[in-house]
């Protein structure tokens, strides 16, 4: 493995970070987006208050490898299910989806059943997030 691969394990990957719904806090999403960029990914951040449809459309238009949903509002089950359904309906079911934010442990199996590739909690080290994404997107 080259030194570049070790330092920038997400080089060449395109990752969308989105804040669906009415959640008005995005500091964590921005921190993750910056860390993903530092790991070599091209990051598209959709900003606050985007609809599920807007996030999916940007993901398709930008040809992303993964969509990261940052959800603090407690509506993660519904929002994730709707995003996954819409990605599949639009022919982008192969796009990996990961979720971060305030996700209770008991909800994580349900999200994985929906097809979520990874769930990241607020207390997870950023290096762990990058390593798991690099594995998922290899």
What pLDDT digit, counting tens, does each position of 42-62 carry? 999 999 989 999 999 999 999
Q: Flag residues of the chain having pLDDT under 70.
A: 1-6
CA dist 7 and 75 (Å) reads: 35
Q: What's the confidence (pLDDT) of residue 122?
A: 87
**CA gap 28, 91 in Å, rounded:** 29
The rounded distance, in Å, linking the Cα atoms of 113 and 121 is 18
- pTM for this structure? 0.92
99 DSSP β-pair partners: 69, 119
Say what the pLDDT of residue 6 is. Answer: 62
Q: How much is the pLDDT for 2?
A: 46
């Amino acid at each position: 493995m080259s030194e570049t691969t070790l330092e920038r394990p997400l080089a060449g990957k395109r990752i969308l970070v989105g804040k669906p719904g009415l959640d008005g806090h995005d500091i964590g999403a921005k921190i993750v987006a910056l860390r993903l960029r530092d790991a070599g990914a091209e990051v598209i951040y959709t900003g606050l208050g985007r609809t599920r449809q807007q996030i999916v459309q940007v993901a398709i238009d930008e040809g992303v490898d993964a969509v990261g949903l940052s959800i603090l509002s407690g509506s993660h089950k519904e929002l994730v299910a709707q995003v996954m359904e819409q990605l599949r309906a639009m022919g982008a079911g192969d796009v990996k989806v990961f979720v971060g934010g305030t996700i209770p442990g008991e909800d994580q199996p349900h999200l994985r059943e929906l097809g979520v590739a990874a769930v990241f909690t607020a207390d997870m080290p950023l290096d762990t997030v990058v390593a798991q994404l690099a594995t998922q997107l290899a």
